[in-house]
Structure 1
Amino acid sequence: MDSSPGSTDDVEETAEPQEEKKRQPVKRACNECRQQKLRCDVIQEPFTTCSRCRRLKLECKIESNFKRIGKRSRNAEMEREIVELRKQIANANANAAMNQQQQALQQSQVAPGKQDGASISTPVSNAAGVYQTPSGMSADQYMGSREAVASLLDLRSGFDSSNYLRNGNQQFKRIEDVIVVTERVTELFNLFFTFYHPFLPFLDREQSPDEYYSASPLLFWTIISVGARRYQTDPHLLNSLAAPVTRLVWSTLADIPQSYHVVKALCLLCTWPFPTSSTSTDPTFMLCGMMMQVAMQLGLHRPSHAQDFSKFRVELIEAELRDKVRTWAVCNIVAQRVATGYGQPPSTLYDWTLSSSESTDTNFKLPADIKPRLEIEKFCDKITKTLYSNRRDPVGLASDQERSTLISFLSRDFDALEDQLRSENDSITDLYLRASNLHLHLSAFFDNPTAKNYRERLLALHVATANFLEAALNLETHVGPVLSYTPYYVYQMMLAGGFTLLKLCKSFFAAHIDIEYSKNLFNRTIWAIRGISVSNNDLPERLAEVLAQMWRLGGTPIQRSTNNVEVDNSLQLKVRCRMSMSLVFDSVWRWREDAQTKGRNIEAYLKNPTNPDSADSSAASSIAPPRASSSTPGVAGGDPSLAPAPPLPQANLGLPSSVNNGVGGLPSTITGFMEPNYEVFDPLNWLLDGLVDFPYSYTAVQGLEQGIA
């Protein structure tokens, strides 16, 4: 190179264009593309509009001082505008009301005689102009939208490390317009783990609400919703949460992939669904199917091979493995109960994960309070597949010749299961065990009345019904009576038990049972179902009224002393496609036909519940004293619509009354039943909308000419 005179110049000439190229400014995107962080093909010299702005007809320009606007800031600004608009509307309404009041006063001065005895009701606006959510929130518990917007605008200090929104010294959680402060969150979590969690014990009580929120906001709000079912400090909180949490469910399910903690939330929602007034608007069975599908999509049924269901590297942690096994077991338990209660085929999968020996891997060992309940639901699945999965029958029912033998074998299996669980059987597990036996013997309504063992099958059904209802009505744990906190499945089986007593006591079979005991048990069942109701006009409240009216309209029971009572077809069902729950749907269908024919006003009956002992066609007596808000079912001064029920003591937390009257600061009022309020009635088609449209006449099935049996 030294001998080449042009080599140095060549290197210098080559370097100069590269330095000039580096000094050239980077091409800028237009404002619209920069806002969206998109690739832009704008040309500055000569200026040519980018293809995106041309397509969307946007103003394409480049400004050196342009800065992107964050979506959170924009949303906060929109919320602030909404608050201002609401304030203006409130002020306008207040001014209009003030003008009306002044005009009324002027008229009263002109013609005072015409205003005597009249009262003027003037709406009072909030002096601060703060919009309040429609849930009866008190000022010390909740916060207005203005303060929420102010916190949202301060993005650096609006949220702390626990995902709580701060307002000065106060913290709260928020979902849409519903805001719950930290103290209420702790209280509702304590309520959930004290009264509800024992029925489905798979969550970790040691975790804080913050940890649950971090794992899944849906799981957090689901726990809050379940805890609010009987939260008498704010009775409106449950209804306020229903719509926002439901929307959160669907938005979460639409966001793929999900966390397996979402599956836990679905388990709780399927166990304690939001109250509804019609089965046609109940999404529980659909959510149950999605729960199982999401669980399998995440690989919960193969927890030790989670890598096969993820494109990312999965590190197997033993604590998480045990949690997934437990969650998968609870998924199948919930899915089986939902299927049994709704009279549908189950979507369960009792695979190796739930059937493997404990010696194989200790991480697959289920807790002592979950494994027995899983065995019970496996038995329920066996009943369903044995009796209601006949491919040769249009409705899947086993043939009459086979069913008697199958029932005999299943009864032996139940006895063996009862012996197996006897040593570790708590009151809740025993209740589920009695429910499985009722599920088994409800098939007696499908039997042929001419069969030799027809009476024996009905007697076994009556015994199973009485055992289950007694276990439910006397259900008590270390915190006291907890029937009002039971899952929806228990209510569904209690409803089936109530309709069973109704049918048996109003048929020829009444001569073979203790009618007074059955009548008393039926009354107590109606009382309990009304006590389970958590909202005005929900299904427990409606169907308890149906039970009471059908008893009163079903005729006089046949006395036990009557001899030579002939077997008839009065117990045959017309609805036969809902497995063991066919009895419930059949009874409700008959009631709807009868109510529509006679034009009964169900609104009046719900305001004044029917007394099944009354022979009068009117509703319950209006002269009886109303229930106090603190009354407990079964005590003096209770519901006047039913015969007296045995006293049911209020739930006791086992602590002296001087110590906060509860656990963890829980108020003493939450331990009682929520009292039904009959002030409001939904005028929609009020029960099991469009249940069945039969292509044949009402009397096409034998035994239906007798009306409501």
Structure 2
Amino acid sequence: MEGGQGAQSGGATSPTTSIRPGTGNSYKRKRSGAAEFESSPGSGGEENEDEGSTRRQPGVKRACNECRQQKLRCDVVQDPFTTCSRCSRLKLECKIEHNFKRVGKRSKHAEMEKQIDRLRRNLQRAQAQGFMVDDDEEMDSPIANGVYSRNNQSFMGSDEAVSSLLHLKQSGSYNLPRIVHELENVGLTEDTIAHLFNEFWCYYHPYLPFLDPNQSSEQYFQQSPLLFWVIIVVASRRYTVDPGLLTSLSGPFTRLLWQTIGEVPNNHFVVKALCLICTWPLPTSTTSTDPTHILCGVMMKAATGIGLHRPSHTQDFSRVNVDLNKEQLHDRVTTWAVCNIVAQSIGTGYGQPASTLYDWTLAVRPGDEGPFKLSPELEARLTIERFCDKVSKEMYSNASDPRGVAGDEIRSMLTRVYRREFNEMQVGILSRRDISPIINLHLKAAGLHLRLSAFFDSPTTVGYMDDLMGLWRATVAFLDLVFEMETTNGQGLNSNFLRYATYYILQMIIAACFTLLKLLSTFFAREIDFERGRQLFHRTINAIRSMSIINNDLPWRLAELMVQMYNGARIEQRSQLQQMRDNGNGNGHERPTAVDDSLQLKVRCRMSMSLVFDSTWRWREEFQAQGRGSIEAAMKNPTNPDSAAESSASSTHMDSTLMAPTQTSAHQLQNQLLSAANTATGSLTPNQNHGLPSGMMGGVGYSESNYEVFDPLNWMLDGLVDFPYSYAAVQGLEANSLV
């Protein structure tokens, strides 16, 4: 009866709560004929079972792991060991392990069902809290992108976990991509890392070719985790597979960056990382929160601290003896050269003194083929940046001037000297066949850097108009090359190169655009091709916007600001009015250009970039202070430079002067401008200006001699343009500054 009861009880018991073997004689008798079967996990009768099995079948001690897992008959022979027929047929690994225990499928499935229910409840709770889960967009899945978020507050991975568990329950196999490297809550798979590194080598490396593309990503990680993550961050700027990757990495990467700096870098791989992040800094909405200039100083001090400027005497900067081979020495020389190239471009682009050191290590040695020999690309860049350094130090580092600007006569003489030197340098560099178009672009940028000194001249300076004309030509030459490179694939250069260009190139494009805006709105507009300048200005605005990385960053804001200044100045209407005046003389001769001081700068301490800071400063002082000069709402609906929106005092779009010129009389133009002024300031009489700037009065036809033509120092005239935006409402932008 016991045996019957035991058998009956065993048959009625749940698989997850089966009776322990060895608790009854009937169970032993039942198991004695099937010694090859394995007991359930935790069985206590395994030894007795093996002894009985050995007695009945000499040579067979126990079943192999695979057969025990499936509870199948096994004919494995232990001594001498012979693979069982099932493992041989299925090509499985046949082995016997004494500590092997079966995994119960039913109990495992029950556990997975509980986990699925728990994940579903978490998912429903997350959706109730407002989290969005896109089931249909495969590319937004962390598994599809190879980018995983470890944030405990994120439930985006719940769907994938549910799917994988259900798949496993159906006896399937689900291999999740393995996370290779992780930075705080952001993990990257091997495929994602390979894709990002490939993006870096293809699109960013040509601008600063000093890293070795033949090295693997893992080698870069072993050299320096910061260098590895800098490459990832730079490549993620335009990573279309996961556009939000840069935003996810910004916080963790910034903390890693400052932590590494705080530990006092002691190897040149960290210096390489600083070179890259200074060349392609993280996006920001204002220069007041941009740490690039500070990081550049850290880069140079870290480089000299480990003796990169004396690479052949590195042991003088180390506690241990350092013996470098030829390749290691060359690597350090190259890194030191790139440090100076980056430091000079940052000094030029930010209008700050460059912390460069052009010493014996970087001296030009014709015919030298040793480890101190740089690649043709870097050697050309170093030559150009050395020239920019000369211009900055000689023109904007005058010890006898509180603002550091050289006097008019000295600056005029230096301009002639450096103009000849620039032409010779340009001929020498462009004559080489192993130079990429990017070098030519930096040449044109250096020429613009030289010519921007014209804004520091006074109208009485000898050759004033010639310097302005040289500035106009340098600006046009630089921008023409930019757009030529953007539309063609020359010498292996990728199209749409502006998307991947360095921040220095962006800064020079912004300076060129402000130059066009300034020249087109003053007396000098009569000396140049106005239509060419207008088209170039609109095209440059679009180029700056295309270089924006994230919404509402500094390039996008500056582009919108320049368009609004263009609208507020009503540049084209004034140009047409001036042209009609010249043609209405009746004697067939144009009047000579009346030179005034409208091109003078108030901000004069930012070297060649003073124009950019002067323009934004004036915009802020004259219009933001009145509560009307803001660009915040325009970020969502940006002004279209090519639009033909109607001209009105309250319009934030381009006015109708952007349309093709029509046969409008000078009297009609005067009435339009005067009407716009009356809208904001009340009716004006020729003898009353009611606070309207004198430049405006001259622009609308008043002939008094003490009134000038439109004064660009007042970019937006009172009441001409109404900006219904709150400047202080923007998060992340300081209330008192745009740049």
Fold shared per TM-score above 0.5: yes
State the partner residue of 1:435: 445
- TM-score (structure 1 length as normaliser): 0.67
Pick one of 583, 596, 613 that aligns with 2:625.
596
Gaps spanning 5+ residues in structure 1: where? Answer: 1-86, 99-120, 128-134, 148-166, 622-680, 694-709
CA distance 1:687–1:432, shift in 2 (3 Å)? farther
1:177-192 pair list within 5 angstroms: 177-192=185-200
Give unpaired runs (5+ residues) of structure 2. 1-116, 153-174, 583-590, 655-726
What letter corresponds to residue 137 of structure 1 in structure 2? P
Tell me which moved more, 251-260 or 476-485.
476-485
List per-residue Cα deviations over 1:361-395 (Å, max 9, x = no partner): 61100001110010000000000011001100011
* Partner residue, 1:610: 639
Counterpart pick for 2:147 among 129, 142, 146 = 142
Answering whether residue 510 of structure 2 is matched by residue 500 of structure 1, we say no
1:445 pairs, out of 449, 452, 455, with: 455
* Secondary structure of the structure 1 residue equivalent to 2:561: helix
Cα 1:427–1:312 shift into 2, 3 Å: same
Work out the CA distance in 2 between the residues paired with 1:383 and 1:597: 39
Q: Label 1:488 to 1:169 Cα distance change in 2 as closer, same or farther (>3 A).
A: closer
1:368 to 373, 376, 388: 376
SS in structure 1 of the partner of residue 632 of structure 2 = helix
- Whether 2:591 is the aligned partner of 1:558: answer no
Partner of residue 326, structure 1: 334
Runs of at least 4 residues of structure 1 off by over 6 A? 87-90, 124-127
Letter in 2 for 1:545: E
2:564 matched to which residue of 1?
549
Tell me how far apart the structure 2 counterparts of residues 418 and 569 of structure 1 sit (CA, whole Å).
Answer: 33
1:363 aligned counterpart, secondary structure: coil
Establish whether residue 480 from structure 1 lines up as the match of residue 495 from structure 2.
yes
Percent identical residues: 47
Change (3 A) 1:438 1:140: closer
Q: How does 1:258-657 map to 2 (within 5 A)?
A: 258-359=266-367, 362-424=370-432, 425-475=435-485, 476-477=489-490, 478=492, 479-556=494-571, 557-559=574-576, 561=579, 562=582, 563-593=591-621, 594-612=623-641, 614=645, 615-616=647-648, 617-620=650-653
Q: Distance in 1 between matches of 2:396 and 2:131?
A: 60
CA distance in 2, matches of 1:453, 1:685: 46
Shift of 1:331: 0.4
State how far apart, in whole Å, the 2-side matches of 1:140 and 1:469 are.
38
| C-alpha displacement of 1:481 | 3.2
Is residue 199–residue 486 contact of structure 1 (8 Å, CA) maintained in 2? Answer: yes
**Distance (Å, rounded) in 2 between the aligned partners of 1:273 and 1:432:** 19
Deviations 1:37-73 (CA, angstroms, capped at 9, x unpaired): xxxxxxxxxxxxxxxxxxxxxxxxxxxxxxxxxxxxx
SS at match of 2:371: helix
- Is 1:683–2:690 an aligned residue pair? no
**Aligned counterpart, 1:241:** 249
Specify the SS of the correspondent of 1:370. helix
Q: CA deviation at 1:451?
A: 2.1
Q: Check conservation: 1:356, 1:364, Cα contact below 8 A.
A: no
> 1:591 is aligned with what amino acid?
W
Residues 1:123 and 1:253: Cα distance change in structure 2 (over 3 Å)? closer
SS in 2 for 1:180: strand
Residue pairs, 1:8-47, within 5 angstroms: none
SS at match of 1:528: helix
The residue aligned with 1:196 is: 204
Per-residue CA distance 1:78-109 (angstroms, 9 max, x = gap) = xxxxxxxxx999967945977xxxxxxxxxxx
Task: Give the conservation status (yes or no) of the 8 Å contact 1:505–1:515.
Answer: yes
TM-superposition CA deviations, 1:210-268 (whole Å, max 9, x none): 10000011011100111111111100001111111111111111223421000110000
- Please name the residue that 1:627 is paired with: none
Q: Is the 8 A contact 2:444 2:478 kept in 1?
A: yes
- Structure having greater relative contact order (Cα 8 Å, sep ≥ 6): 1
Q: In 1, are the aligned partners of 2:557 and 2:631 still within 8 Å (CA)? A: no
Paired residues, number? 502
The structural deviation recorded for 1:125 is 8.2
**Partner SS, residue 396 of structure 1:** coil
1:343–1:580 CA contact under 8 A, matched in 2: yes
Contact 1:508 1:558 in 2 (8 A): no
Q: Secondary structure at the match of 1:569?
A: coil
**Greater C-alpha radius of gyration:** 2
3-state secondary structure, aligned to 1:450 = coil
CA contact (8 A) 2:143 2:176 kept: no
The residue aligned with 1:219 is 227
CA-to-aligned-CA distance 1:261-290 (integer Å, 9 cap, x gap): 001100000000000111111000000000
Indicate if the aligned counterparts of 1:136 and 1:234 stay in contact, CA closer than 8 A: no
SS at the partner of 2:180? strand
Deviation at 1:349, TM superposition (A): 0.2
Letter matched to residue 240 of structure 1: S
Tell me the SS of whatever aligns to 1:558. helix
Q: Kindly state the Cα deviation for residue 499 of structure 1 after the two structures are TM-superposed.
A: 0.4
Q: Which range moved further: 471-480 or 178-187?
A: 471-480
Displacement after TM superposition at 1:356 (Å): 4.7
| Cα deviation code 1:9-46 (max 9, x no counterpart) | xxxxxxxxxxxxxxxxxxxxxxxxxxxxxxxxxxxxxx
1:307–1:541: structure 2 CA closer, same or farther, 3 Å change rule? same
Aligned AA (1:235): P
Distance in 1 (CA, whole Å) between partners of 2:389 and 2:734 is 26
- Determine if contact 1:94/1:124 at 8 Å carries over to the other structure: no
Give a deviation string over 1:295-351, Cα, whole Å, max 9, x none.
Answer: 000111000111111001212111111011111000000000000000000100000
TM-score by length of 2: 0.64
Q: Aligned-pair distance for 1:591?
A: 1.4
Amino acid paired to 2:280: W
Q: 1:554 to 1:185 in 2, by over 3 A?
A: same
Distance 1:122 1:406 in 2: 64
- The answer on whether the counterparts of 1:189 and 1:224 sit within 8 Å (CA) in structure 2 is yes
Q: Deviations over 1:477-534 (max 9, x none)?
A: 4232311110000010000000000000000000000000000000000000000001
Alpha-carbon distance in structure 2 between the residues aligned to 1:439 and 1:374: 16
Deviation at 1:682, TM superposition (A): 9.4
